[in-house]
Amino acid sequence: MQLLDGKSCSEQIRQEIAQTVSEIRASKDRVPHLAAVLVGNDGASENYVAFKVKDCAEVGFDSTLIRLDATISEQELLDKIDELNRNEAIDGFIVQLPLPAHIDENKVILAIDPAKDVDGFCPENVGKLSLGLPTFISATPNGIMELFRRYDIETEGKNCVVLGRSNIVGTPMAVLMSRNSNPGNATVTIAHSRTKNLTELCASADILIVAIGKTEFVTADMVKPGAVVVDVGQTRVPDDSKKSGFRNVGDVDFENVKDKCSYITYVTGGVGPMTRASLLQNTLKAHQRR
Ligand code: GUN
CATH number, domain of 76, equals 3.40.50.10860
Ligand 1 site: residues with CB under 6 angstroms?
A: 94-97, 119, 139, 168
Are 43 and 154 part of one and the same domain? no
Burial of 189 (0-12, 13-18, 19+ CB in 10 A): middle
Are 184 and 267 part of one and the same domain? yes
Provide the percentage of residues in the chain whose pLDDT is more than 70: 100
Distance 121 CA to ligand 1 centre (A): 9
Which residues are CB-contacts of 207 (< 8 A; sequence separation ≥ 6)? 153, 155, 158, 159, 160, 161, 177, 186, 227, 228, 230
Which of 5, 119, 251, 253 is labelled catalytic?
A: 119
Are 77 and 149 part of one and the same domain? no
Are 171 and 213 part of one and the same domain? yes
Are 266 and 166 part of one and the same domain? yes
Are 263 and 146 part of one and the same domain? yes
Are 201 and 153 part of one and the same domain? yes
pLDDT at 151: 98
Q: Specify the CATH number for the domain of residue 165.
A: 3.40.50.720
Are 187 and 101 part of one and the same domain? no
| Residue among 66, 96, 173 to mutate when testing ligand 1 (max atoms within 8 A of CB) | 96
288 belongs to the catalytic site: no
Position 266: which residue type? Y
Mean pLDDT of the chain: 97
pLDDT at 131: 96
Atom of ligand 1 minimally distant from the CA of 279: 6
At 148, the pLDDT band (50, 70, 90 cuts) reads: very high
pLDDT in tens, 51-86: 999 999 999 999 999 999 999 999 999 999 999 999
Are 245 and 151 part of one and the same domain? yes
Q: Per the structure, how many domains does the chain have?
A: 2
- Structural domain boundaries enclosing 194: 139-272
| Inside any domain, residue 238 | yes
At 256, the pLDDT band (50, 70, 90 cuts) reads: very high
| Inside any domain, residue 54 | yes
Are 64 and 145 part of one and the same domain? no
Are 78 and 177 part of one and the same domain? no
Distance 97 CA to ligand 1 centre (A): 5
The Cα–Cα gap between 61 and 39 comes to 22
Are 146 and 109 part of one and the same domain? no
